[in-house]
């Protein structure tokens, strides 16, 4: 016969639930973020960006996912060409990032959040924007400035994007070591975790870390060239090449500026490294210089698809309880699908010749690598949480009998949710293409995803014309900016 639960047991359950929801909503706590965003992404897939904005769940500033909601909103506003509002929302997110980094009491406030998360799940904590998302924030903010003819403002943002990567590079190795050490102290080795956790190696591909983004360095190089800072442009093109060495467009730009700047050592190195087609395609310094001076450049940035969302997976881990006995517990963890969607890229036709874009970043690969590196920290929190919830269940069982045990068990099951939050309206793949054209107006034909479109671009002598092309499902659109 079931015992009637004591007032104490009911109060414990209610206080746990209310404390867990103090900084987040019931929807955020008990349902996956990717489920909440499904309608948003469906509308985005159809090109209905204003509708997608309206479907983003409302969150106030005290909500741990407020900054993430602003990122989603700002990205969709950018796609809808509402650049002023997009700029304002991205600025709010950047201010939050700065406050989180600079506030002296941030560790104390984060400690309070983690106590709440122990009795609920990671969705109760503040969403810390990973480095690859921060760099993309600044890239879009730079493009917002460009759409308002503010090249200097765009340069400020793109410098911030590159600073994010430099900061991440310095912090990465220590963070990896510390996180793996913490997990090992809980009795779980990287090898045992890898044997149970779904592989993401195909999704990660060849990326070395989850924050170095060749696209931000390439865009930086384009903007530096636009203001006549060829040396700075060359440095960032070389950084992009180091991250994405097989990108032919980046190879051509590095080769072009190496010759323009007279980088003899690099010219010798790259002449051996690049194919004959590349070295012959770009004349060396003093070779056909007059023709080069009378041309401008068409630079096309191609965004394709929508980045896949995190999924929830359950694995069984051997965990030592507070009484030092080992038991197997099921824990919910985030993961990415272990495959990459295929994109054909852009085929550009001009005067009987066809030119092909080249991928410069796969954001899913960065996201998967970032999650892989963060997994020891996530697992460590899960182990602490499992032990704390088991202690709570035992306490409820002692004070509330069978009903208390059942209530605690139901709460533990309902609150065992993986944190699937991520900036889920980002593109999946970004390509680049550059073409030298004579000054004047030109008609070029764009073919992407089987859709043909002819656009007119204006080329100015020794200047860059930037075309930003977006392809999502059946939706295709572009913006043209003279730099």
Q: What is the mean pLDDT of residues 271-288?
A: 55
Grade residue 271 by pLDDT with cuts at 50, 70 and 90.
Answer: confident
Q: Which of these ranges, 166-180, 204-218, 370-384, has the smallest mean pLDDT?
A: 166-180
Quick one: pLDDT at residue 278? 59
Q: pLDDT category, 150, cuts 50, 70, 90?
A: very high
C-alpha distances in angstroms, 159 versus 182, 420, 473?
34, 30, 32
Higher pLDDT, 200 or 188: 200
Decide if pLDDT at 70 tops 80: yes
Give the integer Cα–Cα distance in Å for 222 and 99.
31
Domain ranges across the chain: 7-482
Distances (CA, A) of 430 to 129, 151, 356: 20, 22, 13
Of 7-16, 211-220, 226-235, 388-397, which gets the smallest average pLDDT? 7-16
User: What count of Cα atoms within 13 Å lies in the side-chain half-sphere of residue 230?
Assistant: 13
How far apart CA 467 and CA 343 sit, in angstroms, is 19
Class of domain 7-482: mainly alpha
pLDDT tens for each residue of 228-247: 999 999 999 999 999 999 99
Span 322-333, pLDDT tens digits:
566 666 777 889
Statement: residue 161 has pLDDT above 90: yes
pTM of the model as a whole: 0.86
Indicate the average pLDDT of the chain: 83
Q: Residue 483 in 3-state DSSP?
A: coil
Give tens-digit pLDDT for 97-147: 998 877 644 454 444 445 455 555 667 788 999 999 999 999 999 999 999
pLDDT value at 219 more than 70: yes
Task: Give me the pLDDT at residue 324, please.
Answer: 63
User: 436: which residues sit within 8 A by CB, 6+ positions away?
Assistant: 292, 295, 296, 297, 298
Q: Residues of the chain with pLDDT > 90: what percent?
A: 55
């Amino acid at each position: 016969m079931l015992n009637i639960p004591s007032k104490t047991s009911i109060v414990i359950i209610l206080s746990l639930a209310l404390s867990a929801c103090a900084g987040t909503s019931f929807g955020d706590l008990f349902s996956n973020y990717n489920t909440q965003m499904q309608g948003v992404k469906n509308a985005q897939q159809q090109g209905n960006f204003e509708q997608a904005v309206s479907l983003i769940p409302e969150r106030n500033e005290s909500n741990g996912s407020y900054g993430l909601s602003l990122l989603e909103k700002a990205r969709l506003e950018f796609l809808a060409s509402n650049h002023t509002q997009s700029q304002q929302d991205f600025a709010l997110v950047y201010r939050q990032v700065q406050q989180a980094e600079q506030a002296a009491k941030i560790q104390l406030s984060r400690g309070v959040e983690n106590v709440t998360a122990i009795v609920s799940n990671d969705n109760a904590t503040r969403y810390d924007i990973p480095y690859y998302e921060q760099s993309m924030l600044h890239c879009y903010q730079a493009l917002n400035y460009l759409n308002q003819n503010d090249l200097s403002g765009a340069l400020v943002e793109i410098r911030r994007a590159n600073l994010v990567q430099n900061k991440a590079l310095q912090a990465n190795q220590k963070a990896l070591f510390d996180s793996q050490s913490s997990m090992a102290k809980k009795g779980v080795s990287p090898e045992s975790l890898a044997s149970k956790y779904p592989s993401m190696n195909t999704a990660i591909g060849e990326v070395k870390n989850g924050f170095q983004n060749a696209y931000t360095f390439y865009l930086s190089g384009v903007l530096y060239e636009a203001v006549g800072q060829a040396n700075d442009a060359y440095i960032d093109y070389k950084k992009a090449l180091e991250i994405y060495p097989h990108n032919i467009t980046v190879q051509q730009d590095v080769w072009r500026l190496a010759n323009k700047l007279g980088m003899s050592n690099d010219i010798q190195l790259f002449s051996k490294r690049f194919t004959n087609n590349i070295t012959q395609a770009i004349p060396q310094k003093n070779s056909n210089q007059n023709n080069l001076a009378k041309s401008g450049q068409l630079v096309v940035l191609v965004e394709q698809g929508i980045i896949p969302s995190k999924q929830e997976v359950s694995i069984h881990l051997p965990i030592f309880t507070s009484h030092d006995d080992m038991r197997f517990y099921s824990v919910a963890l985030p993961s990415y699908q272990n495959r990459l969607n295929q994109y054909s890229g852009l085929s550009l036709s001009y005067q009987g010749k066809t030119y092909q874009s080249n991928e410069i970043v796969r954001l899913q690969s960065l996201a998967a690598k970032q999650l892989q590196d963060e997994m020891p920290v996530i697992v460590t929190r899960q182990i602490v949480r499992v032990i704390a919830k088991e202690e709570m269940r035992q306490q409820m069982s002692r004070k509330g009998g069978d009903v208390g045990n059942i209530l605690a068990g139901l709460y533990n099951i309902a609150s065992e949710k993986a944190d699937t939050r991520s900036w889920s309206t980002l593109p999946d793949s970004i390509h680049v293409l550059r073409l030298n054209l004579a000054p004047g107006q030109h008609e070029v034909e764009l073919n992407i995803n089987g859709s043909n479109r002819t656009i007119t671009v204006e080329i100015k002598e020794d200047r860059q014309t930037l075309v930003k092309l977006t392809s999502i499902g059946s939706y295709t659109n572009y913006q043209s900016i003279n730099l």
